[in-house]
Amino acid sequence: MKDYATITLDIADDIAVLRLNRPDKMNALNTVMRAEITDATAFASRSARALVLTGNGRAFCAGQDLSDAGTAAALDLERVLRDEYVPMLRAIGDCPIPTIAAVNGPAAGAGANLALSADVVIAAHSAYFMQAFTRIGLMPDAGGTYWLPRQIGAAKAMGAALFAEPISAVDAARWGMIWEAVPDMDFDAHWRARAAHLAAGPTESYRHLKTAIRGSWDNSHDTQLDLEARLQGACGQTRDFKEGIVAFLDKRAAQFEGR
């Protein structure tokens, strides 16, 4: 297992758990953490069948660490986004295994949008999401201007960005920003059960459906139908599909191998 300075990565039972591990900084993102998340995501995609991103301590992620380069004014934000954020977000978005953001506490700024880049977001009731950028004279980044309008519509996305107010986990689930909000006392057991479900599922099927759903924003209806046909054809050649059919006919639970 790899050792990291700002995160931890544990893999067991086909589940990789990546924890942001700067609790004294509310897991704020710095240069080292972004590189380590990128590396760990790639490693997990080859070593597990589901990936969970969560935070150590009371926060999920407070966003960009403005002290990372000494002072906020010293940050070349365009370079940081292009060279550090984009590879990290692409690693998560392109990850071939299902990804869950288990949001254990506040997710602000780039931290909120890091969570939204995962396939599924599960949040504790006490957690919240905040597009905090305008509070320091910036605009949403790290994929926020992409995900928010698609998930909650233009009106709520604009309000979230302009007012920079906290959005509770319960409201985020009600609006469709995240998959579900869970009582704090049940949170850890719940996301672990969700991850176990995905890790035991048909991994190739998951990989292809992720490609289809994420690609649908840019496709015409005809193009999407063609993509579905091609990817479904690939699913139909897997051992998991054959096992699924046999299990259905035998009236038992399928035992997927992940290919």
CATH number of the domain enclosing 153 = 3.90.226.10
Task: For residue range 38-82, list pLDDT tens digits in order.
Answer: 999 999 999 999 999 999 999 999 999 988 654 455 578 899 999
Residue 111, pLDDT > 50, answer: yes
- pLDDT higher than threshold 90 for residue 123: yes
Same domain, 124 and 229: no
Write down the pLDDT at residue 66.
83
Same domain, 89 and 135: yes
**The pLDDT value given to residue 71:** 46
Question: What is residue 5's predicted lDDT score, i.e. its pLDDT?
Answer: 97
Q: Is 190 in a helix, a strand, or coil?
A: helix
Mean pLDDT for the stretch of residues 192-213? 96
Domain count, the chain: 2
In a shared domain, residues 225 and 191: no
Do 13 and 131 share a domain, yes or no? yes
For residues 29 and 47, state if they share a domain. Answer: yes
Residue 258 has pLDDT above 80, yes or no: no
Residue range 182-199: mean pLDDT, rounded: 97
Look up tokens 């091609």; give the residue: 230
Neighbours of 230 (CB within 10 A): 12
Please check whether residue 154 lies inside any domain of the structure: yes
Residue 70 has a pLDDT of 46
Percent of the chain with pLDDT over 90: 91
* Residue whose C-alpha is closest to residue 52's, from 115, 94, 106, 107: 115
Which pLDDT score, from 0 to 100, does residue 108 have? 97
Residue 2 lies in a domain: no
Mean pLDDT of the chain: 94
The reported pLDDT for the residue numbered 47 is 94
Assigned domain for 188 exists: yes
Q: Are residues 126 and 242 in the same domain?
A: no
d(CA 45, CA 36): 14
Is 48 a member of any domain? yes
pTM of the model: 0.94
Check pLDDT > 80 for residue 114. yes
pLDDT at 7: 98
pLDDT of residue 72: 55
Same domain for 66 and 169? yes
Count of CB atoms situated within 10 Å of the CB of 196: 15
* Residue 259 belongs to some domain of the structure: no
Same domain, 239 and 149: no
Asked if residue 19 has pLDDT above 60, the reply is yes
For residue 8, what is the enclosing H or E element?
strand 7-12
The pLDDT assigned to 74 comes to 59
Residue 58 lies in a domain: yes
Residues 209 and 187 in one domain: no
Pairing of strands 180-182, 120-124: parallel
Q: Does pLDDT of 256 surpass 50?
A: yes
- Tell me how far apart the alpha carbons of residues 135 and 138 are, in angstroms, rounded to a whole number: 7
Specify if 51 maps to a domain: yes
What is residue 2's predicted lDDT score, i.e. its pLDDT? Answer: 77
Do 105 and 227 share a domain, yes or no?
no
- Give the structural domain span for 225: 203-250
Tokens linked to 196? 């176990």
Domain presence at residue 79? yes
